[in-house]
């Protein structure tokens, strides 16, 4: 067995590990999974570490029940630490019906602490733990057994270094009094709606520029059909039908199986197969949808004419303020937000609320109304207010 951690393949060992971990203040967690050939991610490994123990849990082992681990994931006394937690949370939500809590995401915390936008785990390990990760096993088929010592050592590194990363980031958050900033961002990760795709809403994930509501009605129905069929068969959405095929069906909806055969993007033989009739029914539901139930196209707010230069100045302001405050720009505002601020002092954007307003929003409005200016001084940009440096 590789040294430095426990390799768990049975329920008794897992129970003993959890008994040990549930007395810890926190545990670091990561998963290895595959979803190349399935709708749902296939959990292959769970790595966990407390301050003085690390373990790899094999959920594919024949003699293991993961319930003790799932109980730990929702134990209110133990903080669960992930990096870029969204996909890991989706797995635990599916297994137990609950989101791990309390929860700490080091990627989000790193953005709050100024390490950059969507900073990688590898970068944080290098900057904080002063270690280099061996990424040679990144594309491992984690379903294969037995796993090699190198694969296991790669996997455990995703939680052992995470301890130092977490402890450092938490200390920085407390020192800078930014724990509430983090809590604002974590609320999205803690919301089950982040992970649950309702079939009738799945069409909104497909990019289209049309505002034709009948087109969108057909797209809604065929996309919901694909979502339900893919779930039932545990197949990737694209294995059922690709997005381009759905868009073609919405643009040129067939009225019969014969017409569906001519639809570009529908695989040869698909229309004549057992799924053809139900797909045609979905198309017809969209065509016959009452006007009152037609979906609304996504509303796009066009910035007022002439605000382009102001938006560019706001981008400079955003970069300057975020660098000065040590926070990632992505957390504060995006280009669409800046366009709305340029056109409306009361725009409903996060940058004009809470801590973001303090960091950027107030200065953005002052710049917009000529109360604040940007001035270059060598390589630096300075804020000038009423003739004085801000």
Arithmetic mean of pLDDT, 6-13: 97
- Decide if 311 contacts 303 (C-beta within 8 A): yes
DSSP for 57-105, please give it.
E-TTSTB---HHHHHHHT-TTSEEEESS-HHHHHHHHHHHSS--SSEEE
How far apart are alpha carbons 101 and 167 in whole angstroms? 18
- Mean pLDDT (the chain) is 93
Residue-level pLDDT at 306: 77
Q: Does residue 301 register a pLDDT over 90?
A: no
Model confidence over 44-68: pLDDT tens digits?
999 999 999 999 999 999 989 999 9
The token pair at 222 is 């065929």
- Decide if 106 contacts 82 (C-beta within 8 A): yes
Cβ density class 345-373: b for 16+ within 10 Å, e for less = eebebbbbeebbbebbbebbbbbbeeebe
Q: Where are the alpha helices (DSSP H) in the chain?
A: 11-21, 67-73, 86-96, 106-112, 121-124, 149-175, 179-189, 213-233, 237-240, 243-251, 257-261, 276-287, 308-325, 329-332, 335-343, 354-356, 362-368
Distance, CA of 171 to chain centre: 25
Arithmetic mean of pLDDT, 177-204: 91
Arithmetic mean of pLDDT, 301-322: 88
Q: Does residue 115 register a pLDDT over 70?
A: yes
Helix axes 243-251, 213-233, angle to 10 degrees: 140
How far apart are alpha carbons 358 and 360 in whole angstroms? 6
DSSP 317: H
Residue-level pLDDT at 2: 40
Lowest mean pLDDT across 10-24, 86-100, 154-168, 292-306: 292-306
How far apart are alpha carbons 249 and 224 in whole angstroms? 13
How far apart are alpha carbons 62 and 145 in whole angstroms? 12
326 Cβ contact partners less than 8 Å away, ≥ 6 residues apart: 113, 114, 176
- Tracing tokens 């996309």 back to the chain, one arrives at 223
How far apart are alpha carbons 24 and 376 in whole angstroms? 51
Cβ density class 269-298: b for 16+ within 10 Å, e for less = ebbeeebbeebbebbbbbeebeeeebbeee
Lowest mean pLDDT across 192-196, 284-288, 349-353, 357-361: 192-196
Residue-level pLDDT at 327: 95
pLDDT tier for residue 137 given thresholds of 50, 70 and 90? confident
77 Cβ contact partners less than 8 Å away, ≥ 6 residues apart: 22
Domains of the chain as residue ranges with CATH: 6-194 (3.30.420.10), 199-288 (1.10.150.80), 307-385 (1.10.150)
Helix axes 179-189, 149-175, angle to 10 degrees: 130
Helix (H, G, I), strand (E, B) or coil at 5: coil
- Decide if 299 contacts 340 (C-beta within 8 A): no
β-strand pairing of 373-377 with 380-385: antiparallel
From residue 78, give the alpha-carbon distance in Å to each of 22, 73, 74, 189, 226.
6, 8, 8, 17, 39
pLDDT tier for residue 1 given thresholds of 50, 70 and 90? very low
Model confidence over 225-259: pLDDT tens digits?
999 999 999 999 999 999 999 999 999 999 999 99
Phi, psi (rounded to 5 degrees) for 289: -60, 130
Nearest CA-CA partner of 373 in 320, 315, 323, 313: 313
More confidently predicted of 224 and 303? 224
How far apart are alpha carbons 312 and 367 in whole angstroms? 12
Q: How many residues does the chain have?
A: 390
């Amino acid at each position: 067995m590789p040294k430095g951690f426990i390799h768990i393949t049975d329920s008794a060992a897992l129970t003993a590990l959890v008994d040990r971990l549930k007395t810890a203040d926190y545990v670091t967690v990561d998963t290895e999974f595959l979803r190349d050939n399935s709708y749902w991610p296939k959990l292959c490994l769970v790595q966990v570490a407390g301050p003085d123990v690390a373990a790899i849990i094999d959920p594919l082992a024949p003699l293991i029940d993961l319930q003790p681990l799932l109980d730990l994931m929702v134990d209110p006394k133990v903080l669960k630490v992930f990096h870029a937690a969204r996909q890991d949370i989706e797995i635990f939500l599916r297994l137990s019906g609950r989101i791990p809590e309390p929860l700490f995401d080091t990627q989000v915390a790193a953005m709050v602490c100024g390490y950059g936008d969507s900073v990688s785990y590898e970068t944080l390990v290098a900057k904080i733990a002063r270690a280099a990760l061996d990424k040679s096993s990144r594309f491992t088929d984690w379903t294969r057994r037995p796993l090699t010592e190198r694969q296991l050592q790669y996997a455990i590194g995703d939680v052992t270094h995470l301890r130092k990363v977490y402890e450092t980031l938490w200390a920085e958050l407390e020192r800078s009094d930014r724990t509430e900033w983090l809590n604002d961002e974590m609320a999205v990760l803690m919301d089950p709606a982040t992970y649950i795709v309702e079939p009738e809403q799945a069409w909104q994930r497909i990019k289209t520029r049309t505002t034709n509501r009948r087109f969108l009605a057909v797209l809604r129905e065929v996309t919901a059909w694909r979502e339900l069929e893919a779930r039932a068969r545990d197949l990737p959405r694209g294995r059922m039908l690709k997005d381009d095929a759905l868009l073609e069906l919405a643009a040129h909806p067939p009225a019969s199986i014969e017409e569906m055969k001519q639809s570009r993007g529908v695989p040869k033989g698909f229309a004549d197969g057992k799924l053809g009739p139900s797909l045609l029914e979905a198309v017809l539901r969209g065509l016959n949808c009452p006007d009152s139930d037609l979906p609304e196209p996504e509303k796009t707010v066009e910035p007022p004419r002439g605000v382009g230069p102001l938006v560019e100045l706001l981008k400079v302001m955003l970069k300057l303020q975020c660098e000065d405050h040590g926070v990632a720009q992505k957390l504060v505002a995006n280009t669409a937000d800046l366009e709305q601020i340029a056109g409306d002092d009361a725009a409903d954007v996060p940058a004009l609320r809470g801590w973001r307003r303090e960091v950027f929003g107030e200065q953005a409005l002052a710049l917009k109304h000529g109360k604040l200016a940007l001035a270059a001084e060598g390589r630096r940009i300075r804020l000038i207010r009423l003739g004085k440096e801000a």
